[in-house]
Structure formats: structure tokens, C-alpha cells
A and B are shown apart, each in its own frame.
Chain A
Amino acid sequence: MNQKNDIAVQVSGLAKNYGAVQALRGVDLTIGAGEYFVLLGPSGGGKTTLLRLLGGFIRPTAGQILLHGRDVSEQPPNRRPTSMVFQSFALFPHMTVAQNVGYGLRLRRLPKAEIAARVDAMLEMVGLKDLADRMPHALSGGQQQRVQLGRSLVLEADILLLDEPLAALDAKLRKDMCLELKHLQEQIGITFVHVTHNQEEAMTVADNMAIIADGVLVETGTAQDLYENPQARFTADFIGENNIFDGRVSGLTGSGVEIDLGFAKFTVDAQGQTPRVSDMVSVSIRSELVRVLGPGEAPEALLQTVPATYGEAVYLGLATSHVAKLANGDNIVARHVSRGGTSDDFEAEAPLTYAWPRTQMRLHLS
């Protein structure tokens, strides 16, 4: 429908205040046409505010919203090329499935036959063909969200906004619906902007995503970028399971940055960043890259090691987390694939060495 290199959403300097509360501050964001874009972040972080600003349900305090190049900052929802899927089961309770889906077309005064044909086609697409005459209260949660999808998609808007569309569904259904949403978006080719606080949901569907917290856009990138190479400390803390060490830059040697953590000194590659001596910075390492070395097991070269006192093992099915205490009292976690049996076990209070590849450590200046 749209060429991939078009820009669907361009937001600059966007802010929204509720009284003294700053729900959103100076957000700049660009979303390409035909992208599946996810706004991910903790509850109350401002991601729903951003979505509702895009949809026109609230007016920005400052900043500009361009949708397909047109400034819509002050336009009402129906004058924008967007359509919204609401959080939970927002349907007309007195209309059948088909009437719910067709109401937007009825408002546009299309001929009855055309409405019926388009509703039929839409119900087929969202898999509700046999339920056309059901009332909303006789549908399951997943089916109700499909009706909402149908109601929005039938209008053929260029941008679909989804406000936590799967939040009210149980875990299994959520997983299935995620993939369905993804495939639906690939099939139709329009831009989807999807808000969620669920990391797995976000990673399943997103082409690109943005992390939003405390009213600020923290970082954008693909799921893989954000998981493997987060720039911000917040991202490292929020996505995946990372061990994060805060310290002060104590020396610079070429591209190497020496960081004093108090109980140890790490040397990390600057990765193109330009820290200065005595800056407060953070270093992170994903817990699945950390290995626990038994007493007497010699570390290989290229490994960063720290001594730790073993705490406990937490069995999580696929993985087992080995939690230990560092010299400064912080926890460090190593996640190993569970091997079954007891070969994995360490004794509580045992002095062990936690180790990981130096090259996998990431430096966060903010």
C-alpha cells in the first residue's frame, strides 16, 4: 500500500502536561510507512499518552505531529489517517459483530450492498465469519478484540493504533494473537503502532520499537538492537535480564575505558562513545552470557571475572538463574540452560568466580 521509504509518523518536540504533571516531554520520533512499530515501556511512562496524541484524542501541550507529511496536531480523530483499537473490549454492546464492524461505513453513507460486502470480507480476514450475528457479550475476549480490529481495518486507514490490545487476554491466547497481528500487518501492509508493557509481545510483533519511560523517549531500534546493544542504562535494565554495574571512569586508554566499581576495575570498549574521566557510567552484561566457575576452575583469557558468594538457584524451566552476592552487596545473576539433575548445583555461601567475555560488556553513559 505504502512504499517502505515513506514516513508515516513524524513527531517533533511533542509534550503533554496534565496540570503540573508532565506526561510526555520533548519526544522526537519517526515511524516509516508499512512498519510494525511498538511503543514499549513501564506502566505510567507516557506511551499511551503518545498513542492518544497520535490518534487525536488529546491535544499536545507543545510540539508537532505530522502523519504522512500532513500536520494534524490540532485535528480531531476522524480527520486523521488513523484508526484506534482500544485496550479492552470497547465495542457497541447493542450491535452484532457485523453491525459493529460496519458502523463506520454506515456513517460514511456507503451503499448497503457495499457495506455488507466489505464487512463480509473483513470478518473473513479477522476470522469471525461464523460469528457475524453474535452480540459482543456472547464473545470471548480474543474474539472481541478481533471485532475491534475489524471495525478499525474496514475503514482502510493508513495507520492503525493499538492501545495494549492484548493486555486483557490470558498468556497463551496473547501469544497466538501476537503472531496473528504480525501476519495481518504483513498481509495488509499498513503502519501499525502498538503500545504494550509486555516485552515478549513487543519483540514478537515489532519491526522497530521505542522505549518510553517517565515521559521521555529513551531509545529506538529493532528488537535485536535493543536486546543486544542497548545504548541507555534504562533499556539494559528494562529489556532482557542484565547485570548492571555503576562506577566512575578512572582512566582512558585508546578505545578502552577503565571503570572503577569500588570492589573491582573493569576495562570496557568505548563503542564509539566519548566518556570523560570521573564521569559516572554504567556497564552491563546479559545474565545468559555470565558463567559460574567452580572453585579451582581456571578462567580463560579474555574473560572478565569477579569473585562472588553464592546465594541460591532459581529454576525457571528452560533456564536456571544462579544468584550470588558481590563484594559490595549487590546481586549478580548467571542464567544457564537447565541441565536437569544436580550437576548444576553449588553450595550456598560458597566462594565462586563469575565470568563473562570482556567483549560482550556494554558501556552506558546515560
Chain B
Amino acid sequence: MIKVRPQLGGMGGSDITAPIPASRLRWQRGLSRALFLLPIIFMMVFFALPLALTVVWSVFERTMFWMKPGFTLFSYENFFFSARLDNFLSSMMHSSVSVVVSFVLGFPIAVFIRRRIPQVAQHRVILLFILPFMVSEIIRIFALRPVLQRTGLVNTVLLELGVITEPITAILYTPMGVIIGEVMSFLPFIVFAGFLAMEAVPKYIFEICDDLGAPRHRVFIDVILPLAAPGIFAGGVFIFVNGLGVALLPNILGGPGAVNAGLIATQAIAALDFPLAMAVSAIMMATLLALLYLGHRLFNLTRILSPIN
């Protein structure tokens, strides 16, 4: 609380030790408390409360243009006993594939940056992975179309090279297209998460492993994976949940077989079936909470932010 203020010319040194008026101390303390309270209030009103209401609204009855208070499980029935459940489950599959592909491509990058790039340059390299976010997501995803479509870049090049004789149609308007889009969009997150996770793997570990003669794959399996697990899991959950929830990806890149939870909810809203949209959201939230609980039991997620001493 005591601050050393710049001394003005002509003032005595005794001014430094002069007590700060009690009223001002009280005011400062109040201000610092408000600085913490404000965001909490904001998040309560605009995040936690609406999410809680989502669950409440999901059991309301549907009216022509909105909904009215009541209690019915009709929306859940509508979700669980229709093609929506199949779509939801297959989008979980596709998201899982995206998580695995992102991990396989992205985690080695994180390890490489930690191990081989000089400490001072590490954060600059990580910064490169933020650059894609400077372009609007919708444009990034849409730009994939001319690359992947029937007469797109990939097909033209492969045809010209004679690698294929027929254009590949399996890479756009299919689950494959969505997975490509998801990996492109979310790869940086596994790099960030992996980079943070590697903080939990102290440098000396690698010297011990050299001394004991551990081959690279054993170092990875026995040491890096267990130590970095919480961070890797957090990155994986992030990608998985976004794969389920971001409607944009299946909307632009998907086809009939590639509809995720986000798109189901969007379509329900377009059809003015608000309770169904709420029910889908509630189910997604439940899925996320279940995943986080599982991850916490397995890896103790609080370890992410507390590197070992």
C-alpha cells in the first residue's frame, strides 16, 4: 500500500514518511476490490446465469414464435429419438479424430520449440501460431473450399501430376472436409497447450534420460507424456468441444453426414424451436462437464498452472 512518490523540488525528505490520509487508503482499497468484483459480476450476469437458464428453458414448452414456462422433456425426446442423436454421436467421433490428428501434428511442434529453440526466441515462435487468428474464422474456413472442391487446387494439382485420374470428392462436403477444417482451425491450440504443458517437464529430465540411456520413444512415453498429460488433455478437450460446437465448420465444409451439435442447435433456432436449441446446448454442457470431471480424476487438472518446484 505504501508507495514511494516522486519527490517534488523543494520538499523535505520527511514527506516520504508522512502517513497517507486514511480516507485515501480506504478509497484505494475499495477501488482495488471493485476491479476484481466488476468482471465477476459481468461473468455472472452474462455467462453463468444464461447458461443456467439454458437448462431451465430446455424444459419449457414450445410456442409458435417463442416458448412458455412449463415442464416437458419433449425437446430431449426430440433429440435422443431422432437422427439428431446419430449426428451428435458421429460428430463426437469426428471431433475425436481431429483431436488425435491435431495432437500428432501439433505436440511435436511444441516439444521442438521447447527443446531446440533458444529460450529467448521461444515465445516469438509461438507468436507465429497466433497469426492465423488475425484472419476472420469464416474467411479462413471458406478459403478451404476452392482448395478442396472438385475442381480445386488439390484435385487440379494431383490430376496434372497424374497421381489420380478422377477428382477426389471425399474431401469436401463430407466428414473428412470437416476434420480437415477442424485440424486447420484448432492446431494452434494444441501447440499452445503443449508448449505450456512442457513447462512441467524440467530440462534436467532429458539429461538423466541421456545418462540412463533411454531411447527417444521411451523418454516420450515414460516421461514427457505423464508429466505433460494435464496440459495435453486441456488442449484436447478444447479442440473436442469446439469440434462439437462450432456450427461454421460443418455448415461450410460438411455435407449430409457431417452435422455437429452446434449446427443442430443453429438449425433448431432457424426453425424457431428454441427449447430444442436449449436442450442441445444443455447436452453439450453436460458432455463438457463429464469430460472435465474425467480429466480431473485422471490427471488432476489443477497441475496445469502449477509447474513442479
Distance A92 CA – B215 CA, assembled complex (angstroms)? 16
In this assembly, does A1 line the interface, its C-beta being within 8 Å of a C-beta of chain B? no
Chain B nearest Cβ from A80, distance in angstroms: 9
User: Who on chain B is nearest to A100 by CB?
Assistant: B208
Query: Which residues of A lie under 8 Å from residue B227 when comparing CB positions?
Result: 93-94
- A57 and B226 contacting across the interface, CB-CB below 8 Å: no
In this assembly, does A332 line the interface, its C-beta being within 8 Å of a C-beta of chain B? no
User: Who on chain B is nearest to A105 by CB?
Assistant: B212
- B205 and A92 contacting across the interface, CB-CB below 8 Å: yes
- A107 and B218 contacting across the interface, CB-CB below 8 Å: yes
Query: Which residues of B lie under 8 Å from residue A76 when comparing CB positions?
Result: 210
Query: Which residues of B lie under 8 Å from residue A152 when comparing CB positions?
Result: 211
Distance A304 CA – B207 CA, assembled complex (angstroms)? 55
* Contact code string B195-218 (vs A, CB < 8 Å = 1, else 0): 000000010110110111111001
In this assembly, does B289 line the interface, its C-beta being within 8 Å of a C-beta of chain A? no
A48-100 CB contacts (< 8 Å) to partner B: 55-57, 76-79, 83-84, 86, 90-94
In this assembly, does B308 line the interface, its C-beta being within 8 Å of a C-beta of chain A? yes
Query: Which residues of A lie under 8 Å from residue B309 when comparing CB positions?
Result: 137
- A94 and B210 contacting across the interface, CB-CB below 8 Å: no
Query: Which residues of A lie under 8 Å from residue B218 when comparing CB positions?
Result: 107
- A107 and B208 contacting across the interface, CB-CB below 8 Å: no
In this assembly, does B77 line the interface, its C-beta being within 8 Å of a C-beta of chain A? no
Query: Which residues of A lie under 8 Å from residue B212 when comparing CB positions?
Result: 78, 103-104, 107, 151, 155
- B223 and A92 contacting across the interface, CB-CB below 8 Å: yes
Knowing A90-B204, A93-B308, A137-B308, the reply to whether A107 touches B213 (Cβ < 8 A) is yes
B37-75 CB contacts (< 8 Å) to partner A: none
* Contact code string B215-242 (vs A, CB < 8 Å = 1, else 0): 1001000110011000000000000000
Number of interface residues of A (CB under 8 A): 22
Distance A55 CA – B227 CA, assembled complex (angstroms)? 26
Query: Which residues of B lie under 8 Å from residue A90 when comparing CB positions?
Result: 202, 204-205, 207-208
Knowing A90-B207, A92-B208, the reply to whether A78 touches B222 (Cβ < 8 A) is no
Looking at chain B's contact residues, the main secondary structure is helix
Distance A93 CA – B309 CA, assembled complex (angstroms)? 9
- A77 and B204 contacting across the interface, CB-CB below 8 Å: no
User: Who on chain A is nearest to B307 by CB?
Assistant: A93
Identify which of A57, A77, A93 gathers the most chain B CB atoms within 10 Å of its CB: A93
- B210 and A78 contacting across the interface, CB-CB below 8 Å: yes
User: Who on chain B is nearest to A85 by CB?
Assistant: B211
Identify which of B205, B211, B214, B215 gathers the most chain A CB atoms within 10 Å of its CB: B211
Knowing A93-B227, A94-B226, the reply to whether A78 touches B211 (Cβ < 8 A) is yes
Query: Which residues of A lie under 8 Å from residue B226 when comparing CB positions?
Result: 94
Knowing A92-B223, A103-B222, A137-B309, the reply to whether A57 touches B210 (Cβ < 8 A) is yes
Query: Which residues of A lie under 8 Å from residue B214 when comparing CB positions?
Result: 103, 107
Chain A nearest Cβ from B14, distance in angstroms: 37
User: Who on chain B is nearest to A161 by CB?
Assistant: B211
Distance A86 CA – B203 CA, assembled complex (angstroms)? 12
User: Who on chain B is nearest to A155 by CB?
Assistant: B212
Knowing A93-B227, A103-B222, the reply to whether A77 touches B205 (Cβ < 8 A) is no
User: Who on chain B is nearest to A103 by CB?
Assistant: B212
Query: Which residues of A lie under 8 Å from residue B222 when comparing CB positions?
Result: 103
User: Who on chain A is nearest to B227 by CB?
Assistant: A94
A87-145 CB contacts (< 8 Å) to partner B: 90-94, 103-104, 107, 137
Distance A170 CA – B308 CA, assembled complex (angstroms)? 22
Distance A92 CA – B213 CA, assembled complex (angstroms)? 15
Query: Which residues of B lie under 8 Å from residue A155 when comparing CB positions?
Result: 212
User: Who on chain A is nearest to B222 by CB?
Assistant: A103
- A55 and B213 contacting across the interface, CB-CB below 8 Å: no
B76-135 CB contacts (< 8 Å) to partner A: none
Chain B nearest Cβ from A88, distance in angstroms: 9
Distance A92 CA – B225 CA, assembled complex (angstroms)? 12
Chain A nearest Cβ from B212, distance in angstroms: 4
Query: Which residues of A lie under 8 Å from residue B204 when comparing CB positions?
Result: 86, 90
User: Who on chain A is nearest to B212 by CB?
Assistant: A104
Chain B nearest Cβ from A162, distance in angstroms: 12
User: Who on chain A is nearest to B225 by CB?
Assistant: A94
Distance A83 CA – B213 CA, assembled complex (angstroms)? 10
User: Who on chain B is nearest to A94 by CB?
Assistant: B226
User: Who on chain A is nearest to B205 by CB?
Assistant: A92
- B213 and A78 contacting across the interface, CB-CB below 8 Å: yes
User: Who on chain A is nearest to B203 by CB?
Assistant: A90
Chain A nearest Cβ from B63, distance in angstroms: 56
Query: Which residues of B lie under 8 Å from residue A107 when comparing CB positions?
Result: 212-215, 218
Distance A94 CA – B308 CA, assembled complex (angstroms)? 10
- B211 and A55 contacting across the interface, CB-CB below 8 Å: yes
Chain B nearest Cβ from A72, distance in angstroms: 14
Contact partner, A83, options B211, B215, B308, Cβ 8 Å: B211
* Contact code string A19-58 (vs B, CB < 8 Å = 1, else 0): 0000000000000000000000000000000000001110
B271-309 CB contacts (< 8 Å) to partner A: 308-309
- A77 and B210 contacting across the interface, CB-CB below 8 Å: yes
Query: Which residues of B lie under 8 Å from residue A83 when comparing CB positions?
Result: 211
Identify which of B208, B210, B218 gathers the most chain A CB atoms within 10 Å of its CB: B208
Query: Which residues of A lie under 8 Å from residue B202 when comparing CB positions?
Result: 90, 93
Distance A152 CA – B213 CA, assembled complex (angstroms)? 12
Q: List 10 A-B contacts (CB under 8 A).
A: A76-B210, A78-B211, A86-B204, A92-B223, A93-B308, A107-B212, A107-B218, A137-B308, A137-B309, A152-B211
For the complex of A and B, the 5 pairs showing the least CB-CB separation, nearest first, are A78-B213, A90-B204, A104-B212, A77-B210, A93-B308
Extra 17 A-B pairs, beta carbons < 8 Å, given A86-B204, A103-B222 = A56-B210, A57-B207, A57-B210, A57-B211, A78-B210, A78-B211, A83-B211, A84-B207, A86-B207, A86-B208, A90-B204, A90-B205, A94-B226, A94-B227, A107-B212, A107-B218, A137-B308
